[in-house]
Amino acid sequence: MLKLNHVTKKFGELVAVNDLSFAVEAGQVFGIAGPNGAGKSTVYNLITGFYPFEGEIAFEGRNIAGRQPHEISKLGIARTFQIPQTFPSLTVEQSVGVGNRFGARGRFDPAYVESILAFMELTPVRHEPTGQLSLLDKKRLMMGAALATRPKILMLDEPMAGSNSNEIRSLMESIRRINAEMGITIIIIEHFMKVLTELTSTLLIIETGTKVCMGDPETVVNDPEVIECYLGESYG
Amino acid sequence: MSWQRMAAIMGVVYGIVAILPLFVGDIRFIMQILIICLIWAVVASCWDVIMGFAGIFSFGQVAFFVIGAYTSGIFAVSWQVPAVLAILMAGLFTAGMGVLVGLPCLKLAGPYVALVTFGVHMTLMPLLRGDIGIALGSGGSVGILTIPPITLFGYAFSSANIIPTFYLTLALAVTCSVVILVVINSYWGTAFLALKDSEEFAVSLGISAFKYKLMVFALTSFLTGVVGAYYGHYIGMLSTRMLELDLFVTLMVMLVVGGIGKFPGAILGAFITVTVNELLAPLGSYRAVTMGALVVILVLLLPNGVMGFWLRRSKAGATST
Ligand SMILES: Nc1ncnc2c1ncn2[C@@H]1O[C@H](COP(=O)(O)OP(=O)(O)O)[C@@H](O)[C@H]1O
Ligand SMILES: [Mg+2]
């Protein structure tokens, strides 16, 4: 469904993503992990058209390199941001509406927005301005707005960061249902290994922009190289 | 603020203004001030749309006003184009200039947008006074002195017929304000606000930053150009004097007094600022200083302008009852 082919991104001298190739299959939950600064968020920024890069990114067989972020959104690729983004001038309902109005392939559908608000448990705060939401609600809002674009693939950037264990359980359940019930392919960047091993079917580990290892999560977390570069001796 | 509320406030303000001629209709000087208030109300509102709603720090508002005024003046004087047509053409030309100025601003951060747009303002005076301007018909440092008034069905709207001219100006101001009201409450307005709040989030949800930012430039410069052109035909003459700083600053004061991003606050701001400015006239050379001091005090006391203050009051009132 989504395929990166020898993708490289340099910021001046710094090589943030280095000759990276991987493929995500339709319907799967695909995990990405790696130390801070490994280039994970940059990979999202390349897929969603925020920066030019070398190499090729194909979505459903089409090369999408060079497209603008809003065009990528209309192709059916949605994402969230590591640093929670909101629209303080808009209410929760309006913000989710933005995704449906501008991103969705198809007409603006208030009933669909309604169902997303309910699904993300945002109905009680629907009229609140988004700037004042709790961290958890901000994350739900970002996911809700992304879902409102009716994506084929949803890319989450560290959705669990800063959450307690109850919140993590609730977010994990939402992600599972987005994948299973809505049939949306998911890519998730996460530091919590337990989240990744429970949710994902394929796990990619990158370090300094380079692929270290990729495979089913159980195998990957026991890979000696992964343990050395990322998980450390104490894991397991 | 809901659109119903914006419309209600606009309706009340313009409604009051509409009946004022019953009381002051024979005081020419006051009627002239009211006409000027209506003109600045639109210009300040346009500035609020681009700066307050879209978050684009455009400082080209007076420049667009002057471009509209001169374009229409030149069309009417050098080419004998009828005033109404000249005004429309000036609006379209100014919109085109707005888009041209907007293009380099798309990728720039706020302070640089302010520099680029104010740069346009700065180049306008030497351009209009210099050889290029004179060749185009700007009249150089003298300006254009004989701009014909708007004529509709054989009736001339000039300062000689002050009451009909007042109502024509009111109709123009109401029309422009309604356009602004509709736009900022449509999904365009939502796109402007979303891009202002978080451009990366907005574009990731499918909003084209390119399209909507240029649309803001086009819309606000079109309306500003039309009103500038109208102003030229009303006053009957133009000079580059408008490009000096005091008009720019007065406009900014209107916006701050009304509340940035608090449409229709800018309309109130225009009326309040012009009125206070006139009331301070007896102070002579102390007027500007006093006005400046009042603005400083106002900003400190009411950082969101009169509109912000009023909204907060009414909210507090609603929750305490
Ligand atoms: N816009 C940018 N300009 C310059 N350097 C950047 C930019 N974005 C990311 N980087 C650098 O690229 C590297 C990878 O960053 P990032 O993808 O955010 O890492 P991760 O998400 O894996 O923590 C870091 O060294 C970061 O400083
Ligand atoms: Mg990151």
With 70 as the cut, is the pLDDT of residue A236 above it?
Answer: no
Q: Are residues A155 and A72 in the same domain?
A: yes
**Do A73 and B204 lie within an 8 Å CB cutoff?**
yes
Q: Are residues A53 and A97 in the same domain?
A: no
| Integer CA distances (angstroms), B158 to A55, B19, B75, in order | 66, 20, 18
With 70 as the cut, is the pLDDT of residue A113 above it?
Answer: yes
Q: Are residues A128 and A157 in the same domain?
A: no
Taking the C-alpha atoms of residue B235 and residue B165, their distance in angstroms, rounded to an integer, is 11
Rounded mean pLDDT, A105-119: 92
Q: Are residues A133 and A160 in the same domain?
A: no
Classify burial at A71, counting beta carbons within 10 Å of its beta carbon; exposed 0-12, middle 13-18, buried 19 or more: middle
Select from A42, A81, A230 the residue to mutate for testing ligand 1; criterion: most ligand atoms less than 8 Å from CB: A42
Q: Are residues A108 and A200 in the same domain?
A: no
User: Which domain-ending residue is among A149, A168, A199?
Assistant: A149
Classified as helix, coil or strand, B221 is helix
Q: Per residue in A41-62, is it b (16+ CB within 10 Å) or e — as a string?
A: bbbbbbbbbbeebebebebeee
Taking the C-alpha atoms of residue B156 and residue B216, their distance in angstroms, rounded to an integer, is 33
A122-168 pLDDT, tens per residue?
999 999 999 889 999 999 999 999 999 999 999 999 999 989 999 99
DSSP assignment string, A71-101: HHHHHTEEE--SS----TTSBHHHHHHHIII
Interface residue A98 vs chain B (CB under 8 A): yes
Q: Per residue in A16-39, is it b (16+ CB within 10 Å) or e — as a string?
A: bbbebebebeeebbbbbbbeeebb
Residue B150: what are its φ and ψ, rounded to 5°? -65, 135
Whole-number pLDDT of residue B320 = 47
| B86 Cβ contact partners less than 8 Å away, ≥ 6 residues apart | B71, B72, B73, B75, B76, B229, B233
**Do B208 and A68 lie within an 8 Å CB cutoff?**
yes
Taking the C-alpha atoms of residue B255 and residue A219, their distance in angstroms, rounded to an integer, is 63
Whole-number pLDDT of residue A28 = 96
Nearest partner of A204 among A12, A75, A3, A34, judged by Cα: A34
If you compute the radius of gyration of chain B from its CA atoms, what whole number of angstroms results? 20
Q: Are B258 and B266 in contact (CB under 8 A)?
A: yes
Residues of B with CB under 8 A from a CB of A: 187, 190-191, 193-194, 196-198, 200-210, 261
**Which has the minimum average pLDDT: A31-45, A69-83, B199-213, B284-298?**
B284-298
Taking the C-alpha atoms of residue B240 and residue B250, their distance in angstroms, rounded to an integer, is 16
Q: How far apart are the first and last CA of chain A?
A: 33
**Do A97 and B190 lie within an 8 Å CB cutoff?**
yes
Q: What is the mean pLDDT of chain A?
A: 93
Interface test with A, best of B198, B200, B205 (most A CBs within 10 A): B205
Q: Taking the model in full, what pTM does it have? A: 0.92
Q: Are B217 and B63 in contact (CB under 8 A)?
A: no
> Which amino acid is it at B199?
E
Q: Are residues A1 and A68 in the same domain?
A: yes
Nearest partner of B14 among B225, B220, B231, B264, judged by Cα: B264
Whole-number pLDDT of residue A77 = 97
Q: Are A3 and A62 in contact (CB under 8 A)?
A: no
**Do B206 and A74 lie within an 8 Å CB cutoff?**
yes
User: Which domain-ending residue is among A112, A127, A149?
Assistant: A149
The helix or strand, by DSSP H or E, that contains position B142, with its residue range, turns out to be: none
**Do B197 and A97 lie within an 8 Å CB cutoff?**
no
| B190 Cβ contact partners less than 8 Å away, ≥ 6 residues apart | A90, A94, A97, A98, A101
Return per-residue pLDDT of chain B as tens, 321 residues: 889 999 999 999 999 999 999 999 889 999 999 999 999 999 999 999 999 999 999 999 999 999 999 999 999 999 999 999 999 999 999 999 999 999 999 988 888 999 999 999 999 999 999 999 999 999 999 999 999 999 988 899 988 899 999 999 999 999 999 999 999 999 999 999 999 999 999 999 999 999 999 999 999 999 999 999 999 999 999 999 999 988 998 999 999 999 999 999 999 999 999 999 889 888 888 888 888 888 888 888 888 888 888 887 776 655 544
Q: Are residues A183 and A132 in the same domain?
A: no
- The total of structural domains in chain A comes to 2
* CATH value at residue A211: 3.40.50.300
Kindly report the CA angle at A104 between A2 and B263, in degrees rounded to 5? 130
Cis amide prior to B264 (ω within 30 degrees): yes
Q: Identify each DSSP E strand in chain B by its residue range.
A: 150-152, 155-157
Q: Are residues A10 and A89 in the same domain?
A: no
Whole-number pLDDT of residue B321 = 41
Q: Are residues A66 and A91 in the same domain?
A: no
Whole-number pLDDT of residue B316 = 65
B264-300 pLDDT, tens per residue?
999 999 999 999 988 988 888 888 888 888 888 888 8
Q: Are residues A99 and A172 in the same domain?
A: no
Interface residue A78 vs chain B (CB under 8 A): yes
User: Which domain-ending residue is among A119, A149, A179?
Assistant: A149
Interface test with B, best of A47, A85, A109, A113 (most B CBs within 10 A): A85
Q: Are residues A144 and A207 in the same domain?
A: no
DSSP assignment string, chain A: -EEEEEEEEEETTEEEEEEEEEEE-TT-EEEEE-STTSSHHHHHHHHTTSS--EEEEEETTEE-TT--HHHHHHHTEEE--SS----TTSBHHHHHHHIIIIISSS---HHHHHHHHHHTT-GGGTTSBGGGS-HHHHHHHHHHHHHHT--SEEEEESTTTT--HHHHHHHHHHHHHHHHTS--EEEEE-S-HHHHHHH-SEEEEEETTEEEEEE-HHHHHT-HHHIIIII-TT--
Whole-number pLDDT of residue B318 = 56
Ligand 1 neighbours, Cβ below 6 Å, are: A 11, 14, 16, 34, 36-42
Residue-number span of the structural domain to which A128 is assigned: 85-149
Ligand 1, atom 20: nearest CA belongs to which residue? A37
Whole-number pLDDT of residue B317 = 58
